[in-house]
Amino acid sequence: MRIILIAHPSLGAKALEAIIGSGEEIVAVFAPGANYEKPGPLKKLADEDDIPCHQPEHMKDSGVYETMAGYKPELGVLAFVADIIPQVMLNCPQKRTIMFHPSLLPRHRGGSAISWTIIQGESRTGLSIIWPNQGIDAGPILLQKAVAISPDDTAGSLFFDKLYPMGVNALVEAIQLIKQGKAPRIPQDESHASYEPLCRESDAIIDWAKPASQIYNLIRGANPKPGATTTWQGEKLKLFDSRLVKSSRAAPGEVVLVNDDSFTVAGDSGAIMVRRVKLAGSAKISAAEFIQQASLQKGDRLG
């Protein structure tokens, strides 16, 4: 089939490689939001295979649809795309367009599905390949794959270690089903649908009075972005790599233990061992560096 791949400038390279490896014809690649001065992995791979690679700032930009239509595509494939794709482009290919979404739809529609799945304490998630329509992640389902969320998964590890490689393979599988005329269009059950907005800094403020398990889920779901936020001596402090541990009763936010490479903060019914942090205006640093810089001691308070 003549396939148009619309993909993330970096993450889409694996999808391009897999689709080419399956023997399909990619007639053009679109990498919205790519940096012209620093070609990403997707463009480099497309150039190596002599595939035209277009890099509009947004797919809705003037002339992009006409360029796409000129390739006379049979199928469009959206791989890890953050840009909003106009409906006219979704309908442009003869067999329409398929899209990857990192949740078991209709649960967790929206751009931060992985983060909210972890923040809400779920132990299972997956991916969906859908036929996108004008609704937000609301199109018919072609196929789904489930995966367990481990107790120490973060949004980053869940995506890069599990959903991303699984998603690349699922896109290839979906293309083959379409090619064989066996691709279903299963309507989503709207009675089970949920939608969450993008997970922003304001959504990831730590309340140390909450159960430590909830705090831990918030930190995991906000890692690597936007980072779960507390304060240290009035200054914003974001927490990243952490562990849920047992602790004796202490005031919420109290530092109950300081080690060489971590510090532990009390929540309700448990505590959080912290290994990586970020102060406002600086890069992420290890807990050991922060302990030394802040002269952190047992009995100090966060939040």
Q: Are residues 281 and 207 in the same domain?
A: yes
The model's pTM is 0.95
Q: Are residues 14 and 146 in the same domain?
A: yes
Q: Are residues 149 and 16 in the same domain?
A: yes
Q: Are residues 39 and 145 in the same domain?
A: yes
Q: Are residues 217 and 83 in the same domain?
A: no
Instruction: Tell me the CATH number at 269.
Output: 3.10.25.10
pLDDT of residue 224: 98
Domain total in the chain:
2
pLDDT tens-digit readout, 83-136? 999 999 999 999 999 999 999 999 999 999 999 999 999 999 999 999 999 899
299 located within any domain: no
pLDDT tens-digit readout, 216-250? 999 999 999 999 999 999 999 999 999 999 988 89
Residues 6+ away with beta carbon under 8 Å from 26: 3, 4, 5, 16, 19, 20, 46, 49, 51
126 located within any domain: yes
Domain's final residue, options 162, 192, 222? 192
Domain's final residue, options 171, 192, 213? 192
Place of tokens 């009075």: 209
9 located within any domain: yes
**∠ Cα 87 92 93 (to 5°):** 130
Percent of the chain with pLDDT over 70: 100
Q: What is the mean pLDDT of the chain?
A: 97
Between CA 160 and CA 179 the distance in angstroms is 28
pLDDT of residue 248: 81
Q: Are residues 222 and 175 in the same domain?
A: no
Q: What is the mean predicted confidence (pLDDT) over 6-13?
A: 96
Structural domain boundaries enclosing 234? 201-294
Q: Are residues 37 and 154 in the same domain?
A: yes
Domain's final residue, options 155, 174, 192? 192
Instruction: Tell me the CATH number at 141.
Output: 3.40.50.170
